[in-house]
Amino acid sequence: MNINYLNSNIMKTSKLFIATLFCLTLITSCSDDDDNPIPVLEEELITNVSLTFVNDADANDVVVLANVAPDGQEGASNNIINGSFTSGATYSLTLSLLNAEDADDVEDVLNDDIIPEADEHFFVYAVNGINLTVTRDSDDIEGPNGSNLGVNTTWVAGAASTGNVQIRLVHEPESVDDSDEFGSSTGGSEDVNITFQGVEIQ
């Protein structure tokens, strides 16, 4: 038995081992190319929400409540209110929810995502200080548990007043109730919660 641990064989083995390790590291480092990552455009973004109320008797009497959030839920949003309701008139509401982050490829979130999954979504409306009433139309899209989703609605403007109008979109609610037409829900998470302040009926 020759006990000489510093012999050349062992040194060679050790050097080989270290060399192998370095090579392995280098190979993996070098294979990592310098290509830039591609940008991600958020797919579930809602950048533009608009509620367009058109007087059933006068197509020129239009009220638009619009919310613009260029970064969707990731950034600040602004409300724009155009026009005012006419006392006593009846309006049909047209909803629009868009993802316009990519101006060349605007996505229609309402028609492409929400309506195909109507049984998992629910629109809830609320007003305060303004004499507006709502009816979910008979041709409204069916929402969870046979409810009306709240996409096709008719609004009646009462006595002149000024107040707030709120729209909420609830995703995967536990229960929904549209018996008072404005609607209410429990559970789920809010994908949209916008309040337009200072809406007028003249």
Partner 1 sequence: MKHPLLVVLLCLYNLAHSQNCTHTFIGEVVDFHDGTPMSGATIYVETLNAYTTAGINGKFTIKNLCNGVLTLTISHIGCETQQIQINVDGDTYYKINMEHHLEELDEVKIKNNSSKTTKTAQETVIESEVLKRYSSLSLGDALKEVSGVSSINTGNTIVKPMINGLHSSRILILNNNVRLQDQEWGIEHAPNIDINSADKISVIKGSGALAFGGDAVGGVVILNPSKIIRKDTVYGKTVFGGQTNGRGYNISSTLNKNYKSGWFAQVQGSYKKNGDFRAPNYNLTNTGLDSKGFAARFGKNKFQSGFEVFYSFIANEIGILAASHIGSVFDLERAINTRQPIITKSFSYNINAPKQEVTHHLAKASYYKRFQNFGKITLQYDYQNNKRLEFDIRIGDRRAIPAVDLTLQTHSIFADVNLDANLDRKFNFGIIGRFQDNFANPDTGVRRLIPDYNKYDFGAYATTEWRMNSNLILDAGLRYDFNRIDAKKFYRKSRWEERGYDADFSDIIIDETPTQFLTNPVFNYHNISASVGAKVNLNDNSYLIGNYALASRPPNASELFSDGLHHSAARFELGDIRFDKEISNRVSASYNLNASKFNLVAELFYNTIKDFIYLRPLDFITTVRGPFPIWEYQQTNANLFGIDINSTYKLSKHWQWRNRTAFIKGYDLKDDIPLIDIPAFNTFNQITYNNTSWYNFSASLKSEWVFEQNEFPDFNFEVTNQLNDSRSIVDISTPPPAYHLLHFYSEATFTFNKKTSLNVALGVNNLLNTSYRNYLNQLRFFSDDLGRNITLQLQFNY
Contact footprint for partner 1 (CB under 8 A) = 1, 3, 5-6, 10, 14, 17-18, 20-22, 24-25, 28-29, 32, 36-44, 46-47, 49, 67, 69-77, 101-103, 112-114, 116-117, 120, 126-128, 164, 166, 171-172, 174, 186-195, 197
We find the least distance from the C-beta atom of residue 99 to partner 1, in angstroms, to be 11
- Shortest Cβ distance from residue 118 to partner 1 (Å)? 11
Toward partner 1, which CB reaches closer, 32 or 139? Answer: 32
Within 8 A by CB and 6+ apart from 103, the residues are none
Which of residues 105 and 139 has its CB atom nearest to partner 1 in the complex?
105
For residue 15, which amino acid is it?
A: K
Token duo for residue 76: 């600040």
State which residue, 54 or 164, has the beta carbon closest to partner 1. 164
Smallest gap from residue 28 Cβ to partner 1 (A): 6
Q: Residue 153, exposed/middle/buried by CB under 10 A (0-12, 13-18, 19+)?
A: buried
Nearest distance from C-beta of residue 167 to partner 1, angstroms: 10
Which CB, 43 or 58, lies closer to partner 1?
Answer: 43
CA distances in angstroms from 70 to 1, 75, 85, 122, 165, listed in the order given: 79, 7, 28, 24, 22
Q: Is 23 left (phi over 0), alpha (psi -120 to 50) or beta?
A: alpha
What are the b/e assignments for 23-32, b being 16+ CB within 10 Å? eeeeeeeeee
Q: How many Å apart are CA 157 and CA 161, to the nearest integer?
A: 9
- Least separation, in Å, of the C-beta of 24 and partner 1? 6
Nearest to partner 1 of 126, 156 (CB atom): 126
